Amino acid sequence: MPNTALVYPGPGRRPVTAPWLRWTLLFGFATLMNGCASWLLPFGEYSPPEPLEQEAAATPATAHDLSRHRFALPKDDNIVGQLGVVEVRDGDTLPDIARHFGLGYEEIGTANPGLDMWVPRAGSRAVLPLRFILPDAPRKGIVVNLAAMRLFLYGGKGGEVVTYPVGIGKEGRSTPTGDMYVARKAEKPVWYVPESIRRDHEKRGDPLPAAVSPGPDNPLGAYAMYLSKPSYLIHGTNKPYAIGLRASNGCLRLYPENIDLLYRQTPVKTPVRIVNQPYLLGWHKGRLYLEAHEPHEELNAKALQAALQAKLKEIEKKGHALDWPKIEATVTEARGIPVPVFAHTPGVEQLAREAVPLALPEQFYGQPPVPQASTHESWYVEALENGDALTAQRTAAVLNHMGPRIPARAVALPDGNQRVLAGPFEDAKHAQAAARQMLLDLDIKGKIVPPQPQRLTSK
């Protein structure tokens, strides 16, 4: 048993990938939206949903089940799924891999601290954290763990759970915790912009209308579920690569393909419990596991670690020898991967080596196409005048994954470096709009490139 308390490393101590790209260059999502409406309805009678309608009935966790995130609930344990692994190909990005396999940005980034998010080395192994410790909450309706940035939907009859990644509220506008319920639902919702968000956008020189109609510019996406707590929703998004980030002003956002399923499987009055549990203990076949996430700034990390240590000491008193150095490393690294913590059990690296190999598709779901060089009549925006290949490829990848997307590619220069051109655009108006979006969201001062007499070539 250790003599000292677990030491929380504090923000920035865990391994991260390319901090400048991770936060400064990653979309500028922080001021995009808040809760959108207030609807108070009587709680009424809750009828749980039917077993989740996906491709087949729930079965043990095979590679097929891992990719669907649908699992049979264990009777005595509280861990579902298995770690997966894929071999990265040239041109793949971790956000594309994450979305295809139902993971969020932070999830795949923290699970793979040695990989570049946007230009991972071809041939490297990307661990897919597809094993989850269920939150400490009743298995009923919707449960969201903000620390893991995951939503769990419990089926009514089949003893099943399906889980999706979510985007949550940023620091200062955190998603609230507590018990709520789905008050009403809407397809193709209108976004009535809160006054606080309108003021934020006016300060940025990007004024918003009082209401945004359904369509590609609507941050609610195609579906919205209004919670009983005023101004908070569970909804889709027009910026799918912000899923798995603290980027909203309080609402919960899902990938478009996930909100489509969740919306159809969630009746009005479904209970919703939101928790913030960075340290999760779980059991599987007699083994104790610890899943650790970095505590959010508004939480008391030291108090949470003291509570975790107290629980572990109680377990140790029952005759279970614990690996305390591994426990401390798991808390410090906060990789979001369940790790067995009994003495003489595998560590995270061995677990990664034993992960289930998953096949990559020819093209990832939702993957933006790489734009091709167009004719001399096209307009472009130069996002990077001259840079090394890695910087250019990262910049182009980020632009391609923005919402709305800005098509971009790296173009070879005679000196061996590369420039980044966004486009092609059909006219100056569209090019100027893209340049404005780059400036507002990424602080990139793009240069408008008018039609050229010769075709542009790309590397």
Tell me which amino acid residue 305 is. Answer: Q
Q: Active site residue: 69, 100, 235, 296, which one?
A: 235
How far apart, in whole angstroms, are the C-alpha atoms of residue 319 and residue 49?
A: 41
C-alpha angle 340-343-348 in degrees, rounded to nearest 5: 35
Residue 251 bears catalytic tag: yes
For residue 316, what are its two tokens? 């140790």
* 3-state class (DSSP) for residue 224: strand
Phi/psi-derived region of residue 368, left when phi > 0, alpha when psi is between -120 and 50, beta in every other case: beta
Residue 36 bears catalytic tag: no
Q: Active site residue: 251, 293, 296, 401, which one?
A: 251
CA-nearest of 13, 138, 135, 33 to 79 is: 135
How far apart, in whole angstroms, are the C-alpha atoms of residue 365 and residue 96?
A: 8
* 3-state class (DSSP) for residue 334: coil
H-state helical runs in 168-323: 195-203, 256-265, 301-317
Q: Cα–Cα distances in Å, from 414 out to 91, 139, 378, 389, 418?
A: 22, 61, 22, 13, 9
Annotated catalytic sites, by residue?
235, 251
